[in-house]
Amino acid sequence: MASIVSLKIGQRAIIKDFSVDVVPLKLLEMGCLPGNEVSLVQEAPFKDPLYLIINGSHLAIRKETAAQIEIELIDG
Amino acid sequence: MAKQINVALLGNPNTGKTSVFNRLTGLNQKVGNYPGITVEKKQGICKLDRNIKAFILDLPGTYSLNASSIDENLVIELLLNKNDKDFPDVAIVISEIENLKRNLLLFTQIKDLGIPAILVINMSDRMKRKAISLDVELLESILETKIALISCRKNLGFEELKELISNYNQLSLKPCLDASVIAPEYFDRLRKAFPNQDLYKLWLVITQDVNFGKLDRKVLKGVASFQIESISNLKRLQQKETIIRYQFINNVLGKTLKIDTENAKDLRSRFDRVLTHKFWGYVIFFAILLVIFQSIFDWSSYPMNFIDNSFASLSKWFKTTLPPGDFSNLISEGVIPGLAGIAIFIPQIAFLFLFISILEESGYMSRVVFLMDRIMRKFGLSGKSVVPLIAGTACAIPAIMATRNIENWKERLITILVTPFTTCSARLPVYLIIIALVIPEGRVLGVFSLQGLTLLVLYSIGFGAAILAAYILDKFLDIPSKSFFVIEMPNYKLPMLKNVVINVIEKTKAFVVGAGKIILAISIILWVLASYGPGDFNTAEEIVRQQTISQNLTKDEIETKIASFKLEHSYIGIVGKGIEPAVKPLGYDWKIGIALISSFAAREVFVGTLATIYSVGNDDVETIKNKMAAEINPVSGEPLFNLASGVSLLLFYAFAMQCMSTLAIVKRETNSWKWPLWQLFSMSAFAYVVALIAYQILK
């Protein structure tokens, strides 16, 4: 299964699933929930951290967290 | 008598909460673009009409009522405690039109607590440009609340908001949704165990205990008998709660909010493609830093010279106008030179605060956090440590308070410990005067002034020392903590002129007044100690005349000899001579030694101290810089401030922990004397060793 880390800049995807134990609640509150859209705006060197738009919110998270969030790419 | 009500301002970070506060109360305070800027309770008064006076409390920004930082916890503590004297009669939840979906999460939670809540939608003037349309009436009826559309920038909607606040007792107290659906059976048990309590409040109290277990909660008396779920189960339930809240919000906004995506341009992402770029992002960041330091040095040299000269003339004026005597001397030799020592640095400090204020207000600071996170992590810090480290160039005290939004305790502690290494504005006076004395003028590549570059090097040294110390601390501190990092990238905003100007004026004023008081006191003490002395001091004239009787000196030369003899045998001279052996290996004389000691109260006292010492007994009224340049090292006969002693002094001030206020704030933030004492001793010892090595190599 692909995670957010595999996104390329400009690509969009739908958040599938993740474990609550590794993803902080704060991220959920900012809109990182299954079914919501995520896209990659920019990446820092070594893809860490990642600058994302999740559910309309612009935010950055570290690679280790991003790797825990599974996604499904949106075609086109 | 007018009725008084408590109003609490709540909202996500970056929604302009503090601007609303400023508009309502007229009190001024900083608006920041990174979370955690409102670190302390800020209260103001707003007269709603003749009959109602509102006490408005500006609470720290929070994304929800599930606290994950000290600041957020403060908000929940207040909302859960009906007996708190600040407990709000009405809550104003500030949201922003572009982030309404996320902002409403907090709103629904507050409403479910049974607190009357008004929804404020800020930046409503942007709706047209962003192709957003909102059915306000429908939204009001679904959320069962009142909505105020406002714009802080254009000062729109505040009269309506005040009216809504006045009529707060007409607000519906009905919850938005029933949280118990996330675990009906669990909530049933809760209801049975605590029949008289509000269920949602109980739920928050229980989940808060997951994160802040040590807090005492009266509501939960007897809860020990109640079987609490495991922490991971509670977390799962919190996640479930978040999901149902978003379902509710999506449903509501689906009916009321329309965004024409065709016309909505995401300018922020376009800017950020460049500003947070792997290569260009860093180039731009360092270019901005370079411009800042160049201008601090270049632009402010003109007003600085003007102030220096003005104080010299003022001193002269007092000397010629006042009747001669101790009082005239105290004013012209003690107080005025001491105050001049701080006043000439007002331009630089104002420029520094101006730039930092713009970086924060514009939203650029969050991008720097993003760019620096990975690099900072290598040194045991977080990307969020960049904010304190940059803010530390103004003052370590607000910088240390700004560490509160670093989620990880170890990263936060290390940031607190190393922040005082960054070059704060109190070091600037010392740096500037010494650079002006020992570094030649001239330009590198015809653009960068040599003195400006030296200043940049000093700032880099401070930053480097902070990073290095962090690296070492990271290796030695054994604090288990979980890494976790989320940062919002707020919309870019053109800094509001009013906010920036007020910020600069207030910060500069605080600096000048705060330092001014210490300097005034110290300069008076120093003047007294330097103008009186025991034994030989009182017969100075005779002794010097006898010593020089065969040397055939002019009258002026004898006068100078007498003055310096007197100073050396005054009380301060005796103390200074006592400490001279300790500072001599660093290339300083006893006068600098005295200045070093007084600097432990506050660094910026250094220049004023020297100015006072050099003025006593000296009738020539000179600028501070010229006085310092004229000092001769009695041993070598060379100028006292030369490259070797100058560099040694610069390095000493770069590393030493000379600020009592910072020590006090570190004690408060770490809750122990261990860490501030560690800072005081290790930083100062390190400073001594480095200054010693530098002088011995360069002399």
Chain A CB contacts of B407 below 8 Å: 24
pLDDT over 80 at B349, yes or no:
no
Look at A28 and B242 and tell me if their CB atoms are within 8 Å.
yes
Q: Which backbone phi and psi does B23 adopt, to 5 degrees? A: -65, -40
pLDDT of residue B515: 67
Chain A CB contacts of B99 below 8 Å: 56-57
| Amino acid, single-letter form, for residue B615 | S
By the 8 A CB rule, do B152 and B178 touch?
no
- Kindly indicate whether the ipTM for this predicted assembly is greater than 0.90, answering yes or no: yes
Half-sphere exposure of B131 (CA within 13 A, CB side): 8
By the 8 A CB rule, do B512 and B425 touch?
no
Distance CA B453, CA B447 (A): 10
pLDDT over 70 at B227, yes or no:
no
Question: Which chain A residue has the Cα nearest residue B279?
Answer: A45
B217 by DSSP, 3-state: which? coil
The answer to whether A65 contacts chain B (CB < 8 Å) is: yes
Look at A58 and B488 and tell me if their CB atoms are within 8 Å.
yes
Element (H, E) at B23: helix B17-25
By the 8 A CB rule, do B49 and B82 touch?
no
Where along chain B do its domains lie? 3-170, 179-259, 515-698
Helix axes B497-531, B346-362, angle to 10 degrees: 150
Please give the model's pTM, rounded to 2 decimal places.
Answer: 0.79
Buried/exposed A1-32: b ≥16 CB within 10 Å, e otherwise = eebbbebeeeeebebeebebeebbbbbbbbbb
**What's the CATH architecture for B3-170?**
3-Layer(aba) Sandwich (3.40)
pLDDT of residue B400: 84
Distance from CA of B510 to the nearest CA of A (A): 35
Distance from CA of A1 to the nearest CA of B (A): 22
Touching B: A residues 17-56, CB under 8 Å: 20-21, 24-31, 33, 41-46, 48-49, 51, 53, 55-56
What confidence tier does B621 reach under pLDDT thresholds 50, 70, 90? low
User: CA angle, B428 as apex, B427 and B432 as ends, to 5°?
Assistant: 125
According to DSSP H, which parts of B212-335 are helical? Answer: 231-256, 267-275, 280-298, 301-321, 326-329
- Kindly report, residue by residue over B494-529, the tens digit of the pLDDT: 887 777 787 788 777 776 776 677 777 877 887 888
Chain A CB contacts of B101 below 8 Å: 31, 55-56
pLDDT over 80 at B220, yes or no:
no
What confidence tier does B209 reach under pLDDT thresholds 50, 70, 90? low
B230 DSSP 8-state letter: P
By the 8 A CB rule, do B57 and B7 touch?
yes
Q: Which backbone phi and psi does B676 adopt, to 5 degrees? A: -60, -35
Look at B370 and A26 and tell me if their CB atoms are within 8 Å.
no
Chain A CB contacts of B269 below 8 Å: 41, 53, 58
Where along chain A do its domains lie? 1-13+25-39+47-76
Kindly give, in sequence order, each residue whose CB lies less than 8 Å from that of residue B157, ignoring residues fewer than 6 positions away.
B124, B148, B149, B150, B151
Q: Which backbone phi and psi does B45 adopt, to 5 degrees? A: -115, 140
Look at A46 and B486 and tell me if their CB atoms are within 8 Å.
no
Chain A CB contacts of B68 below 8 Å: 24-26
Mean pLDDT value of segment B286-307: 79
Measured between alpha carbons, how far is residue B459 from residues B243, B366, B427, B436, B660 in Å? 47, 21, 10, 16, 21
- Kindly report, residue by residue over B581-617, the tens digit of the pLDDT: 999 999 898 888 888 888 877 787 788 778 877 776 6
